[in-house]
Amino acid sequence: MLLPIADLGHVRATAGRLIRRHWRALSVVLLLHLVAALCGLVAPRAVGILVDALTRGTATATGVNVFLAVVAGAVLAQAVLIRFAQRQSMVLGETVFARLREEFMAVVSRLPLSTVERAGTGDLLSRTTHDIESVARTVRFGVPRVLVASITSVLIFVAAIATHPLLGIAMFAGVPLLLLSTRWYLRRSGPAYQRQLASYARLSGSVSETVEGARTIDALSLAPAQREKIDAALSERLESERGTLRLRMVWFPSADFSFLLPVIVVIAWGAVLLDAGNATIGQITTVALYAMQLVAPVSELIMWMNEIQIGTTALSRIVGVEQVPADRQQSGRRPADEHVVVDDVRYAYRPGHDVLHGIGLDLEIGERVAIVGPSGSGKSTLGRLLAGIHGPSGGSVTVGGVPLLELPVDDLRRHVALVTQEHHVFVGTIAQNLRLAAPGASEAELEEALQVVGALEWVRAMPQGLATGVGSGGVVLTPAQAQQVALARLVLLDPHTLVLDEATSLLDPRAARDLESAMSRLLEGRTVVAIAHRLHTAHDADRVAVLQGGRIVELGPHDRLVAAGGEYASLWASWHSEESGHA
Ligand SMILES: Nc1ncnc2c1ncn2[C@@H]1O[C@H](COP(=O)(O)OP(=O)(O)OP(=O)(O)O)[C@@H](O)[C@H]1O
């Protein structure tokens, strides 16, 4: 499933909101361009007057000097005004774009994890990079240029009509062809550009998947299949680019012709009027110069219309991300205590296919519960629901009487946190990695957290201690160190309930043993739900929940369940005999 794409109404509403927010700055930009365009109209008019004076033989040396001064003054004024207008346009473009990008990043970081997982990284990656760049180009250059070109074109038309109304009308000669070809183009270009952008998303998805899964691809010799997939994505992209190119190849030449047409018609029609004594050579010269002056703004308009079309399509994909429904709704209620209760919980990844069927689990504050069961029985799913990552499809998971999904995410993590085998080290310093959990923590607090998980010594031994750069491009941490940093983050978060999923399984036995003491200090005084893949964890727990086919089939202390001789007893017996076999 790809992320939603906003319809034109929403895109227009977003554009309208941006214009309203910046209307003052936009008005200044428009005013500057308007005056600059007016200055640009002076020269053709002055040339026309001079031509007429020369034709009539009334031109004087002073007249020519005045003409030169006026033209030079107008050109200079136009150049200065354009400089300021462009500067203002760029500042405005950057301001608008910066806000847009910040808002988009805020939306992306709020996206429900389940949506990101389902949509895949390619689509989101291409929206946050390629589409944002496309919108940036439109906002920075496209919108100001289109506004300027529109104002200039209208003023040129008005000036031509004011010079000679009958001749001025000839300036419209290219309009029908321009309208027809543009309508033809716009009808087809929207879907064609959507296809093109979707093909970028698929290509970047295939490439990033190949890079991320390089080891698996290598190990299973999947390279040919992956190459085929990328080739298919490339062909799709090529085809979609060809599609839009075909459209441009029809539209551009007809547009080109339609704005050259007025120059030809003005001269031909001017000759007829001159013959009939209805126009002067000076007027024909002025209007013909205006017709030629029109070429630049109209061609700019044509070029940027195309860019704006691409930008609008990209904006619809960006606005679309805002339309992903939130998976949680804050109610403002505050948990009465630290009591976590799972009540009749159901969960389905796909509608109609429940993987949890009415789970009930009342966690006593400070107790340790181990969840055991065969692969696929729903242990990890239950863990994610307990940590408030997914919301249940039915029933509830509450802390202190408040459903987890009603809490703000920052708050939620201070109640329940999930510890998985994934310990991503973010690019930045060790301190920055830790402060993700507690942005305001002092260095002493960071060191205290590192001390709890037994990492203070090695962090202090690093070249710059807490300020050492880690992650991609920095010092490479060992898996055990990465895990210690993750645990220190949890110490800083200080949640009262922890859900452990395969917390130590990726480590070699020695590193796992080293971490066990760090772990046990972290767990002290907290409620713990451990998804137990090794049964000795279950043995040490206060209670064991046996999950089978998405249902809790047994629940109680280890000894009682073993004595009961049920499902857990046989799991325990087979695990025990395996263990003693290994010994
Ligand atoms: N992202 C997902 N989309 C669709 N189905 C999923 C997804 N994750 C898990 N499932 C399905 O949900 C069921 C429960 O999976 P879950 O991972 O919770 O089981 P588990 O007991 O933790 O298994 P294991 O011990 O192998 O990790 C399985 O049938 C699994 O195929």
Residues 196, 243 contacting (CB under 8 angstroms): yes
For strand 428-429 and strand 394-399, is the pairing parallel, antiparallel, or unpaired?
unpaired
Residue 463 lies in a domain: yes
pLDDT in the model for residue 510: 65
Q: In testing the pocket of ligand 1, which one of 346, 381, 537 has its CB within 8 Å of the most ligand atoms?
A: 381
Shared domain for 175 and 33, answered yes or no, is yes
pLDDT in the model for residue 449: 92
Please give the distance, rounded to the nearest whole angstrom, from the Cα atom of residue 382 to the centre of ligand 1: 10
Could you give phi then psi for residue 323, rounded to 5 degrees? -85, -5
Shortest-distance Cα residue to atom 5 of ligand 1: 349
Shortest-distance Cα residue to atom 7 of ligand 1: 349
Domain count, the chain: 2
Burial 218-234 (b: 16+ CB within 10 A, else e): eeeeeeeebeebeeebe
Shortest-distance Cα residue to atom 9 of ligand 1: 381
Please give the distance, rounded to the nearest whole angstrom, from the Cα atom of residue 79 to the centre of ligand 1: 67
Helix (H, G, I), strand (E, B) or coil at 341: strand
pLDDT in the model for residue 502: 67
pLDDT in the model for residue 507: 53
pLDDT in the model for residue 75: 92
Residue 333 lies in a domain: no
pLDDT in the model for residue 582: 55
Shared domain for 274 and 344, answered yes or no, is no
Q: pLDDT tens digits, residue range 285-329?
A: 999 999 998 888 888 887 787 788 888 889 998 888 888 887 788
Shared domain for 119 and 165, answered yes or no, is yes
Please give the distance, rounded to the nearest whole angstrom, from the Cα atom of residue 345 to the centre of ligand 1: 16
Q: pLDDT tens digits, residue range 494-527?
A: 999 999 886 555 555 666 666 777 778 888 889 9
Please give the distance, rounded to the nearest whole angstrom, from the Cα atom of residue 381 to the centre of ligand 1: 6
Shortest-distance Cα residue to atom 16 of ligand 1: 378
Cα angle at 431 between 464 and 429, to 5 degrees?
Answer: 60
* Of 304, 308, 490, residue with least CA distance to 415: 490
Please give the distance, rounded to the nearest whole angstrom, from the Cα atom of residue 374 to the centre of ligand 1: 11
Q: What is the mean pLDDT of each run of 10 residues along the chain (583 residues)?
A: 82 87 89 89 90 87 89 93 89 86 86 76 81 84 83 90 92 89 87 87 86 84 88 93 93 87 92 92 93 87 81 89 83 89 92 91 92 89 91 92 89 88 84 90 92 89 89 82 89 91 60 72 88 78 92 91 88 76 54
Please give the distance, rounded to the nearest whole angstrom, from the Cα atom of residue 424 to the centre of ligand 1: 22
Query: In CATH, what number is assigned to the domain containing residue 369?
Result: 3.40.50.300
Shared domain for 293 and 355, answered yes or no, is no
Q: Cβ–Cβ contacts within 10 Å for residue 53, how many?
A: 16
- 323, 348, 370 - which closes a domain: 323
- 323, 357, 374 - which closes a domain: 323
Please give the distance, rounded to the nearest whole angstrom, from the Cα atom of residue 203 to the centre of ligand 1: 28
Residue 284 lies in a domain: yes
Shortest-distance Cα residue to atom 24 of ligand 1: 375
DSSP 137-201: HIIIIIHHHHHHHHHHHHHHHHHHHHH-HHHHHGGGGGHHHHHHHHHHHHHHHHHHHHHHHHHHH
Shared domain for 425 and 477, answered yes or no, is yes
The single-letter DSSP state of residue 343 is E
Shared domain for 352 and 444, answered yes or no, is yes
Q: Tell me which residue range forms the domain holding 291.
A: 8-323
Q: In testing the pocket of ligand 1, which one of 353, 355, 501 has its CB within 8 Å of the most ligand atoms?
A: 355
Shortest-distance Cα residue to atom 30 of ligand 1: 376
pLDDT in the model for residue 557: 92
Residue 488 contacts by C-beta under 8 Å, 6 or more apart in sequence? 434, 446, 449, 450, 452, 453, 455
Q: Which two tokens stand for residue 536?
A: 């000795």
pLDDT in the model for residue 367: 93
Q: In testing the pocket of ligand 1, which one of 114, 117, 377 has its CB within 8 Å of the most ligand atoms?
A: 377
Report CA-CA distances (Å) from 240 to 127, 159, 199, 427.
18, 43, 7, 36
pLDDT in the model for residue 294: 87
Shared domain for 403 and 544, answered yes or no, is yes
Please give the distance, rounded to the nearest whole angstrom, from the Cα atom of residue 357 to the centre of ligand 1: 14
Residue 536 lies in a domain: yes
Q: Which two tokens stand for residue 200?
A: 């970028």
* Of 213, 240, 242, 237, residue with least CA distance to 225: 213
Residues with CB under 6 A from ligand 1: 349, 355, 373, 375-381
Instruction: Report the C-alpha gap between 457 and 443 in whole angstroms.
Output: 15
Largest CA distance in the chain: 123
Please give the distance, rounded to the nearest whole angstrom, from the Cα atom of residue 376 to the centre of ligand 1: 5
Residue 469 contacts by C-beta under 8 Å, 6 or more apart in sequence? 427, 428, 429, 475
